[in-house]
Amino acid sequence: MVTNMQQQQQMMATMMGAMAQNMGMPQPAQPGLTAPANNVSNLFERFQRYRPPTFAGTHRPEEAECWLNRVTKLLRPLHCTEAESVELLSYLFEKEADLWWKSVLRSIPENHIWTWEAFEARFYEKYIPRSYQHERENEFLCLQ
């Protein structure tokens, strides 16, 4: 039997969740209440509002670097975890990039939790070679 206090707590949690949703904020989990099962889909909807550019792959490292920088900026206001960030970006892969990402996923354990550092390392390894990175570093050092 649900007590009056429990009913009030549930009502407050529902109201706070609705207010947070209306303000575009993540909803806090409440003890004893089922957390919304839409965390990634909710994040994805919010992310899509920024109209993130897709990525089909490229042989031009400057394009890959530019894309990664743009989408990284779009992720910041979402305050999502590193694993959620990687998952959101994976939805932006198309054509060759999507095939590459699927092959990366096949090469790791199914329950692997991605860090941003690991994702960036794989992305750079594929699309932004060391020679290009060194070139950019030297350009920067020459500016100083």
At residue 130, the pLDDT reads 82
Domain-located, residue 113:
yes
Give me the domain span that covers residue 96: 41-143
At residue 34, the pLDDT reads 34
Task: Provide the number of structural domains found in the chain.
Answer: 1
Domain-located, residue 14:
no
106-138 CB burial, b ≥16 within 10 A, e <16:
eeeeeeeebeeeebeebbbebbbeeebeeeeee
Q: What is the pTM of this model?
A: 0.65
> 120's torsion region: left (phi>0), alpha (psi -120 to 50) or beta?
alpha
Residue 22 binned pLDDT confidence (cut-offs 50, 70, 90): low
Whether the Cβ atoms of residue 83 and residue 119 lie closer than 8 Å to each other: no
Q: What is the pLDDT of residues 104-140, one digit of tens each?
A: 999 999 889 999 999 999 999 999 888 776 677 776 7
Domain-located, residue 104:
yes
Comparing CA positions, the residue from 82, 18, 88 lying closest to residue 55 is: 88
Residue range 18-39: mean pLDDT, rounded: 44
